[in-house]
Amino acid sequence: MMALAYDIKGTAGEKITLPREIFEVKVSPALLAQAVRSYLSNQRKASAKTKTRGDVQKTTAKMYKQKGTGRARHGSYAAPIFVGGGVAHGPAGNQNYKKVMPKKIARQAFLGALSNKAAQKDVWVLTGADKSNGKTADGSMMLEKMGLGESKTLIVASGEQKVFLRAFRNISGITGKNSTQLNTYVVMANKKMIVTREALDEMQKAYVN
């Protein structure tokens, strides 16, 4: 699989061969969907909580006498059947939404997401990222020259290229990540993908045996 290389000024260069172990992996759409669901579920927090009849503040006086009224027996205004009473069987704030995927399956899904990007010609390699001055104007100009000014784009850099990523922090639609921070969801959530040459080397060390 080939990808076109650009420099930090947005000038096109030669094509670079992407490692087939990372960018030519076939997976089923069902596996990709499972990985995305797992990621989103693990981001979810159990913030919903209702008050039970023991949590609401109501008078403890008996509503009416026990016998002789012809009505059903009631002893608490906090019962769930009354307006303003507690909620029966509601969320308690301790729900567990965590989903666990086996590491091998999660890795397969991740590589499959990268491969889909490469197959659609939506992956570019960037050279000279270490020379970046971190200015937003320069980052924006590079994207415009590459034809990605209005595309939702993922930019992947190595762990030492923080200055380069800083140039894209304030640009709408751009997500900057280190090569170690990638997952299936973040790859699929962005339409285009730019990988620095150094980040590509890091990915090769991590995923190519």
Q: Where in the chain are the domains?
A: 2-44+97-207, 50-95
State the pLDDT confidence band at 207, using cuts at 50, 70 and 90: confident
Residue 103: per-residue pLDDT: 94
Q: Phi and psi of 22, rounded to 5°? A: -110, -40
Q: Which CATH superfamily is domain 2-44+97-207 in?
A: Ribosomal protein L4/L1 (3.40.1370.10)
Three-state SS at 12: strand
Q: CA–CA separation, 4 vs 162, rounded Å?
A: 23
Mean predicted confidence (pLDDT) in 136-143: 94
State the pLDDT confidence band at 150, using cuts at 50, 70 and 90: confident
- pTM here is 0.84
Task: Indicate the pairing of strand 123-127 with strand 153-157.
Answer: unpaired
Q: What one-letter code names the amino acid at 85?
A: G
Q: What one-letter code names the amino acid at 160?
A: E
Condensed to tens digits (0 to 9), the pLDDT of residues 168-189 reads: 999 999 999 999 999 999 999 9
| 135: CB partners within 8 A, 6+ apart | 167
Cβ(202)–Cβ(180) under 8 Å? Answer: yes
205 secondary structure, DSSP code: H
Task: Considering only residues 208 and 109, tell me which one the structure prediction assigns the higher pLDDT.
Answer: 109
Condensed to tens digits (0 to 9), the pLDDT of residues 66-105 reads: 999 999 999 999 999 999 999 999 999 999 999 999 999 9
Mean predicted confidence (pLDDT) in 102-126: 96
As a dihedral over the C-alpha atoms of residue 91, residue 96, residue 97, residue 103, rounded to 10 degrees, the angle is 180
Residue 70: per-residue pLDDT: 95
Q: CA–CA separation, 72 vs 116, rounded Å?
A: 65
